[in-house]
C-alpha cells in the first residue's frame, strides 16, 4: 500500500494519470474489488514503477531548475519588473529544492515545463532584440561622432561594421 501512495504522489507531481500507471503496473491493482491476491510480482511492480517515476521526477526537476536559473539570469540582465516576475514565482522558488520538497501537483508535468520553456525562449528573444537595438544605437552614435569630428574615412567600414555586428547579435 505504501508503494501505491508514493506512486500516487509521484503521478500528481509529474502530471501523469495515476489509474493508467497502476493499470500498466498490474491490472488487478486498479480494480475496485477490495479482495486482492497479491503475489510477490504484484508487490514488486509498484516498487519498480515508483523507482522509474522517481528517476523521471529527478530529470524533470533538473530541467525546471535549469530553466529557473536561466529565467533569473535573464530577468536580472534586462531589469524585468517584479510584477512580471511574480507570474513565475512558483518556478523560481524551486530553484534549489530537493526532490522531496517538490510536491505540488503538476509542478513537473510536461505541459508546465513547456510553459516555462516558452517563457525562457521569449526572454531570450527579447534579449536578442534589445542587443540588436543597442548595436544599432551605438553604430548611429559612432557615425554621428565621426561626422562631427569630420572623419570621413572608408564608408565601406561603417556598412561592413553594421551588417556584421547586427547579424552577430541576431
Residue 19 has pLDDT above 60, yes or no: yes
- Give the whole-angstrom CA distance, residue 54 versus residue 77: 34
Nearest alpha-carbon partner for 70 in 123, 110, 130: 123
Residue 9 has pLDDT above 90, yes or no: yes
Residues of the domain holding 78: 2-169
pTM of the predicted structure, to 2 decimals: 0.74
**Grid coordinates belonging to 163:** 551588417
Half-sphere exposure (Cβ direction) of 20: Cα atoms closer than 13 Å: 5
Q: What is the pLDDT of residues 61-95, one digit of tens each?
A: 999 999 999 999 999 999 999 999 999 999 999 99
Q: What is the pLDDT of residues 33-59, one digit of tens each?
A: 554 555 545 555 778 889 999 999 999
Phi, psi values for residue 76, rounded to 5°: -65, -40
More confident site: 70 or 151: 70
Count CB-CB contacts under 10 A for residue 58: 13
- Give the whole-angstrom CA distance, residue 106 versus residue 108: 5
More confident site: 39 or 111: 111
How far from 28 is each of 11, 25, 115, 149, 155, CA to CA, in Å? 19, 9, 36, 86, 80
Q: Which residues contact 28 (CB under 8 A, 6 or more apart)?
A: 36, 37, 42
As for how many domains the chain has, the answer is: 1
| DSSP one-letter code for 100 | G
- Give the whole-angstrom CA distance, residue 109 versus residue 16: 7
**Grid coordinates belonging to 70:** 536561466
> 99 falls in which pLDDT band (50, 70, 90)?
very high
Amino acid at each position: 500500500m505504501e508503494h501505491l501512495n508514493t506512486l500516487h504522489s509521484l503521478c500528481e507531481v509529474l502530471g501523469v494519470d495515476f489509474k493508467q500507471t497502476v493499470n500498466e503496473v498490474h491490472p488487478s491493482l486498479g480494480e475496485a474489488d477490495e479482495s486482492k491476491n497479491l503475489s510477490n510480482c504484484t508487490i514488486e511492480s509498484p516498487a519498480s514503477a515508483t523507482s522509474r517515476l522517481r528517476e523521471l521526477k529527478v530529470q524533470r526537476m533538473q530541467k525546471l531548475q535549469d530553466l529557473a536559473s536561466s529565467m533569473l539570469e535573464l530577468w536580472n540582465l534586462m531589469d524585468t519588473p517584479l510584477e512580471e516576475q511574480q507570474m513565475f514565482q512558483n518556478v523560481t522558488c524551486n530553484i534549489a529544492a530537493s526532490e522531496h520538497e517538490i510536491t505540488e501537483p503538476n509542478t513537473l508535468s510536461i505541459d508546465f515545463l513547456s510553459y516555462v520553456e516558452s517563457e525562457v525562449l521569449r526572454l531570450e528573444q527579447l534579449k536578442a532584440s534589445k542587443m540588436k537595438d543597442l548595436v544599432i544605437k551605438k553604430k548611429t552614435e559612432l557615425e554621428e561622432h565621426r561626422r562631427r569630428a569630420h572623419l570621413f574615412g572608408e564608408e565601406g567600414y561603417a556598412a561592413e561594421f553594421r551588417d556584421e555586428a547586427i547579424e552577430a547579435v541576431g
